[in-house]
Homo-oligomer: A and B are copies of this chain.
Amino acid sequence: MIGIFDSGVGGMTVARAIEHICPGYPLIYFGDIARTPYGSKSPETIIEYSKRNTDFLLNHGATVIVIACNSAASTASDALRSHYTVPVLDVITPATRKAAAVTRNKRIGVIGTRATVRSKVYTKGIQAINADCTVISQACPLLVPLVEEGWLNKRETKMILRRYLHPLKRRQIDTLVLGCTHYPLLSTLIQPRIGKRVQLIDSSVEVARYLKEFLDNTPDINNKLLKQKMDSRFFVSDSTAPVRQLADRIFGRTIHLEKVDA
């Protein structure tokens, strides 16, 4: 199975993108709702939780791991890759490749949680591909709670977005990476505020495209996965009504969340 983990429910935008772009593969998702959010936690804590999540997915039959949480991907990718032998894909690398490929003026904006921005992982990733790129990052810690409250069209959300996006607009970026899996739900608010000429890069879609490419290139894993005739499963370490609503909204259908012990 394709194992996907996130600190919460936002990573389901990755699961949804994988469903669309890699249809026919069974998914196993783990959302660590009991410990969400990771974005404000220390690196040591994020690494510990990421290992627990990976163990859970491997024990339930995952053969590929996708880190669908930007905070975990920015902080724990190296630790996981050195600790496990299965392939570990992260939600960050594909978006950096895409951003570096599509920018024309070499000025790229990145928005994310505090942990993601502090790690400078997008900046380093983009500049490793093209050292001429200038990357301007902005931490947007209030966007996750706003999305989780379902305030997707409220005036306050628009004002807070304008405040966060203003410094990026002033620096005349032409490409903006949505460096958090919750942000695609705000993309219709982000586009007019950052400017219609700025290309938005959705890290959830990019990692799904990257996974498709990876599977096409590794036939042994691909064949093993395609032989597994299992249904996709969605596990969470805690389940509340707003979480279930957000999951259903992301998928556009009712998602059965299985609660496991925290």
The interface of chain A, by Cβ under 8 A from chain B, is: 33-35, 40-42, 45, 48, 114, 141-142, 145-146, 148-149, 151, 155-156, 159-160, 163, 237-240, 242, 259, 262
Q: Nearest-CB distance from A114 to chain B (Å)?
A: 8
Which residues from chain B contact A262 at a C-beta distance below 8 Å? 45, 48
Task: Provide a sorted-by-A list of 16 A–B residue pairs whose CB atoms are within 8 angstroms.
Answer: A34-B35, A40-B240, A40-B242, A41-B240, A42-B238, A42-B259, A45-B238, A45-B262, A48-B262, A114-B242, A141-B149, A142-B146, A142-B149, A145-B145, A156-B156, A159-B159
Q: Is the CB of B240 within 8 A of A42?
A: yes
Which residues from chain B contact A45 at a C-beta distance below 8 Å? 34, 237-238, 262
A34-B45, A156-B159 known; 10 new pairs, CB 8 Å cut-off, are A34-B35, A41-B238, A42-B238, A45-B237, A45-B262, A142-B142, A142-B145, A142-B146, A156-B160, A156-B163
Which residues from chain B contact A34 at a C-beta distance below 8 Å? 35, 41, 45
Which residues from chain B contact A141 at a C-beta distance below 8 Å? 145, 149
Which residues from chain B contact A259 at a C-beta distance below 8 Å? 42
Please report the C-alpha to C-alpha distance between residue A114 and residue B149 in the assembled complex, in whole angstroms: 10
Which residues from chain B contact A40 at a C-beta distance below 8 Å? 148, 240, 242
Please report the C-alpha to C-alpha distance between residue A40 and residue B33 in the assembled complex, in whole angstroms: 9
Which residues from chain B contact A151 at a C-beta distance below 8 Å? 142
Q: For A33, A159, A160, A238, which residue has the most chain B Cβ atoms within 10 angstroms? A: A160
Which residues from chain B contact A149 at a C-beta distance below 8 Å? 141-142
Which residues from chain B contact A35 at a C-beta distance below 8 Å? 34-35
Q: Which residue of B lies closest to A237 (CB)?
A: B45
